[in-house]
Amino acid sequence: MLIVTAISMTLLLGVAVLAIDIGRMYVIRAELQSFTDAAALSAAMELNGTDGGLALARTGAGRLASGPHAMRWDMGTQPITNIVTSFSADNKTWLEQPKKGADCRFVRVVATEASPVIFLRAFQAVSSSKVAAASVAAKTEQTARLMQ
């Protein structure tokens, strides 16, 4: 009985240790998803059919990641720095620097951060794992709405 208990406790401890790192990654992804949702909606609100609107939309996502009330990840301790904003006219072809602002109705914001791992280092030779989230928003005639 003692041998079976020792083996099962070791396995149970191993699963619990993995759950800590994987759970942390899920929390970070949820924080990044909240940021990309808000950033995509903010950027879509700026789209007005002009090149100036594209420039405002491009900086709109960055505004949520900076300043005294900036959105952060890792339980609100780390700034969000890896943000990519791209635009599309048809929600299929995405360009970071589109040529015509009048055609763009969709904006996609992708945020990527390196999630630190503690216990997964035993299985991998890395100290972090990439976590990413993406959101797409569309500009309609009256407002903007989140697509995905």
Overall domain count for the chain = 1
Work out the percent of the chain whose per-residue pLDDT is above 70: 97
Write out pLDDT tens, residues 11-48. Answer: 998 888 888 888 989 999 999 999 999 999 999 998 88
Angstrom distance (rounded) from CA 28 to CA 24? 6
The Cα-based distances of 124 to 51, 57, 89, 129, 132 in angstroms read: 46, 39, 41, 10, 19
Write out pLDDT tens, residues 134-144. Answer: 999 998 888 88
Angstrom distance (rounded) from CA 40 to CA 54? 13
Write out pLDDT tens, residues 111-133. Answer: 999 888 888 777 766 777 899 99
- Averaged pLDDT, 62-81: 84
Domain range spanning residue 34? 2-146
